Amino acid sequence: MTFNIKTIYSLLKAVLPSLETTLIDKNLGFPYFTAIDSLFNEGVNLPPIESDGFLKNILPRLLKSIEDAQNNILLFETPEMIDRDKFGWIRDEEFCRQTLAGLNPLSITLVKEWPLTSKLDPEVYGPPESAITKEIVERAIRGFCTLEEAIEKKKLFMLDYHDIFLPYVHKVRELKNLRTTLYGSRTLMYLTPTGTLRPLAIELVRPPGNGKPQWKRAFTPCWDATGMWLWKLAKVHVLAHDSGFHQLYSHW
């Protein structure tokens, strides 16, 4: 179902003020995961809506229901994947699947040369060599093949948001009234014998600036509590890079 522009503007005008006052801290966004869950499970109280207004009649695609004549409770439609597995979006297999089947299937590329290096000016952005080393890759694909064989057989793929985002890292970090950050990133994946992609490593990079040297680190899947959360947070950064690139570059 397609909405025309006027309908979308009307929806945003009616819904967003309620979301902002009910759930969203203007400096932090959603304060915790359950605030997002409540959009689907508990609903959001809206201002009074006319009984014959469009919100009552025209939003079956976007909104699950607007009910309770006194409170006007709005429920968003739960994504099908979340219905099946509430935390499926953060699992490694879904993370990789969405590089092809998600909103932005245009950025994944085949790795054709090694080592991974930046093409940016090292005098400005620091050493160009990636923190993802041959040892990290071969530790993850041991038993399948060597790094050289993986490249030759076209088994290594990458989301590369390093060079395109690195010039904006400090600009984003210096924005006033926003507690946010940005890195450049590289995500390396391996094509398994079953035809699925498996994440091997995520590199996050901060260029030198403000008196600090370049910082970079390669995160990998692991099994200790701290490492697991660092890996999850690294994936969240990549998802933010992927969606931002899709909106700002692919669309434009």
Residues 53 and 103 in one domain: no
Residues 129 and 176 in one domain: yes
Residues 32 and 154 in one domain: no
The structure's pTM equals: 0.79
Out of 78, 109, 129, a domain closes at 78
Residues 43 and 92 in one domain: no
Residues 212 and 186 in one domain: yes
Question: Whose CA is closest to 169, among 122, 109, 210?
Answer: 210
What tokens appear for 193 in the block?
Answer: 């014998």
Out of 78, 113, 143, a domain closes at 78
Note down pLDDT in tens along the chain; length 252 residues. Answer: 344 445 555 555 555 555 555 555 556 566 777 777 777 776 665 555 555 555 555 444 444 444 444 455 566 677 788 888 888 877 999 999 999 998 899 899 999 999 999 999 999 999 999 999 999 999 999 889 999 999 999 999 999 999 999 999 999 998 876 678 899 999 999 999 999 999 999 999 999 998 999 999 999 999 999 999 999 999 999 999 999 999 888 888
Query: What is the number of domains present in the chain?
Result: 2
What tokens appear for 154 in the block?
Answer: 């076209």
Residues 120 and 238 in one domain: yes
Residues 183 and 94 in one domain: yes
Residues 129 and 238 in one domain: yes
Residues 209 and 128 in one domain: yes
| 158-215: pLDDT as tens digits | 999 999 999 999 999 988 766 788 999 999 999 999 999 999 999 999 999 989 999 9
Out of 46, 78, 110, a domain closes at 78
Domain interval for residue 44:
5-78
Instruction: Give the helix, strand, coil percentages of the chain, each rounded to 5.
Output: 40, 20, 40
Residues 47 and 156 in one domain: no
CA torsion sign, 76 to 79 to 84 to 87? negative
Residues 176 and 221 in one domain: yes
